[in-house]
Structure 1
Amino acid sequence: MKLNLRAFDLNLLTVFDALMREQNLTRAAERVGMSQPAMSAALQRLRLSLKDELFVRHRSGMTPTPRAERVYLKVQPALQLITEGVSVGEVFDSATEDREFAIAVDSYIEVAALGSILCGLQAAGPMLRLRSENLIGVDVSAALNRLELDVVLDYLQVDSPRVDSEVLGTEELVVVAAADHPALAEGGCTMEAYLSCRHVLLRQRSAAASQLEQALGGARLDRQVALHVQDYAAMAAVVAQSRALGTMPRRLAHVYGRAHGLTVAPFPLDIAPVSLWMMWPRALSGDAGHRWFLDFLRQLAL
């Protein structure tokens, strides 16, 4: 007949564990922080619940009965598992853990950093995996609050009391053009030339400010728009085949510049680099695996 757990005081299992480990009533009481009379009373309740003497007293301590030995064989691993499951500050072993991390990024991060993130994860542990989500059409704050994402990397910071964030890095914006574009003939670009040309712009995500507007402190430049595209790869391809200019992060400009033979020039205004924000749900702060992933991203120096 199975024991009814609802009628059993599970706290007695920690008493039982201490008695099995110490096989001495006084030392077992000290181990769990109880007085000796309280330990004696707990042992009596154990005996009644399990219908067995459990321990036989002798001069040097207490000897477990065969029933106690059989019960402990099952109980001890269960107690260990419970302890590990509820412990705060547990250690995440990347070499042995089986875990998928969900990250949301824009097209810039997909090209500039997703490869190095995946490569680093594969080196850290054979069972670590990455799931990438695009930021287009995503309510970032809601997705983080619902714990659908572990981390968001974006140039726009989420303002929410349930989301933590920090600047992970910065990126300089540059101008790109076809190799023979006259506006960049001298390896640079003046503001007058920049504004006189037509531009290929990245399609803006909802009402969010563009990276350039972020760098300009929210101000807008009155640019002549030739075309809106979905991502920087398309911007580079269109710019290479036209007389339009593009503005993009420097790292992408060098990647696409080599592929399309583009000329890259500094932005004609002295503007601040664009911040790359790392954002995550505050509710995951107690999770060792999540803390490990944040530290992993910091060490990559994106």
Structure 2
Amino acid sequence: MKEHGSSLANLDLNLLVFLRELLRARNVTRAAERIGVTQPTTSAALARLRRHFDDELLVRRRGGYVLSPLAVELAAQIEPLCEAAERLFTTAPFDPATTRREYKLLMPDYVLDAMGEAVSRALHAQAPGAKLHVMLVTGALPSDAVEALRLIDGLASAPTPGLRLSGLRCAELFRDRWVCVVDADTVPTNRTRLETAELERRPWVVPHHPGGDYPPTAPLAPLMMALAVSPEVAVRVDSYRATPHFVAGTDRVAVIQERLARRFANRTDLRILEYPGEPEPIVECLWWHEKHEADPAHRWMRETVRAAAQNSGP
């Protein structure tokens, strides 16, 4: 490494941002997108960093880049350094009433239905200038949850092995339970519960089913595996919210969350019945990256979202 003066005045501290994202992404184009600048600007910053450290940092290999040994060392140092700098320059007390911050949350459509309005009202009441970007999970969760949660504020999801990772934190949002939705003409009016044998016999409407074997980590997998007969999946739909629409006028059944089922309680052509037995409760959590842990603005958001979610229940 070349010798350089130790004074911060001799350094372009903007390069820290480029260095962090280049080491994270190992790709100039993706780093540029994350920073919000052009690819040529990021390429120029990489060239300056290479001159400064007298090292390639990103070494071309077949199929992309890998970190040089020095870059691996720098990657371990850059995260705490940048997070300390961010905290240093945000030491003013956080005031939700005046903040203009945008919060980015990722959640399934079921969770949005269950608590979205309550969260929106709570955030607007306490932080009318804050912005909110809600992104829907349209299939599987992000393959790299740690990296995804570096870039957004939170993910609403049930606990899964893919989220029990070093670097992630979570707190419970709310609990729910499974119920059955059937066409009203297919059950007697005095029925309040669907029997196990009937559940096994009816074709199912299943959300987020990729086809073939149902993934063991999927929400309905424990219920399906507990049945003596594996049910026929008649309809696969990439939405929790849409499942009851494929039940009306058929002999199918949809096993869905009670909070979502209540959205259809006024439909006379559908019946909501108790699920047989006592399945494990549904637990939904808010997940975030540990880098947000001490951020007052983020802590306020977490507490506000949790309170709103818990107050949106029955």
Instruction: Tell me the secondary structure at the aligned position of residue 102 of structure 2.
Output: strand
Instruction: After TM superposition, give the deviation of residue 109 of structure 1 in Å.
Output: 0.9
Whether 1:278 and 2:286 are equivalent positions in the alignment is yes
What SS does the corresponding residue of 1:233 show, helix, strand or coil? coil
What TM-score, normalized by structure 2, do the two folds share?
0.63
Contact 1:184 1:263 in 2 (8 A): no
1:294 paired residue number: 302
1:175 aligns with 180
Q: CA deviation at 1:138?
A: 4.4
**1:74 matched to which residue of 2?**
none
**Which residue of the other structure, out of 142, 145, 148, is the alignment partner of 1:142?**
145
Distance 1:132 1:118 in 2: 10
Whole-angstrom distance in 2 between the partners of 1:147 and 1:280: 8
In angstroms, what is the RMSD of aligned CA positions?
Answer: 2.9
Which residue of 2 is the match for residue 110 of structure 1? 112
Task: Output the CA distance in 2 between the equivalents of 1:103 and 1:122.
Answer: 15
Partner of 1:152: 155
What is the rounded CA distance, in whole Å, between the counterparts of 2:257 and 2:236 in structure 1?
17
Q: Matches of 2:100 and 2:188 in 1, distance apart?
A: 53
How far residue 89 of structure 1 moved from its aligned partner, in angstroms, is 7.1
**CA distance 1:102–1:197, shift in 2 (3 Å):** same
Larger of the two Rg values belongs to structure? 1
2:127 to 125, 128, 141: 125
Question: Quick check: 1:144–1:163 contact (8 Å CA) kept in 2?
Answer: no
Q: Do the aligned partners of residues 5 and 189 (structure 1) sit closer, same or farther apart at CA in structure 2, a change above 3 Å counting?
A: closer
Structure 1's unaligned 5+ residue stretches are: 8-82
Number of residue pairs matched? 222
For residue 186 of structure 1, report the CA deviation from its aligned partner.
1.7
Gapped runs of 5+ residues in structure 2? 1-6, 11-84
Shift in alpha-carbon separation, 1:185–1:232, aligned structure 2, 3 A: farther
The normalised TM-score by structure 1 is: 0.65
Residue by residue, what CA displacement relative to the aligned partner does 1:36-90 show, whole Å, maximum 9, x if unpaired?
Answer: xxxxxxxxxxxxxxxxxxxxxxxxxxxxxxxxxxxxxxxxxxxxxxx99627875
Question: Cα distance, 1:233 vs. partner?
Answer: 2.9
CA shift at 1:123, angstroms?
0.9
Q: Secondary structure of the residue that 1:167 maps to in structure 2?
A: strand
Tell me the percent identity: 20
Q: Structure 2: which amino acid aligns with 1:239?
A: V
Report if aligned partners of 2:146, 2:289 keep a CA contact under 8 Å in 1: no
Q: Is the 8 A contact 2:146 2:167 kept in 1?
A: no
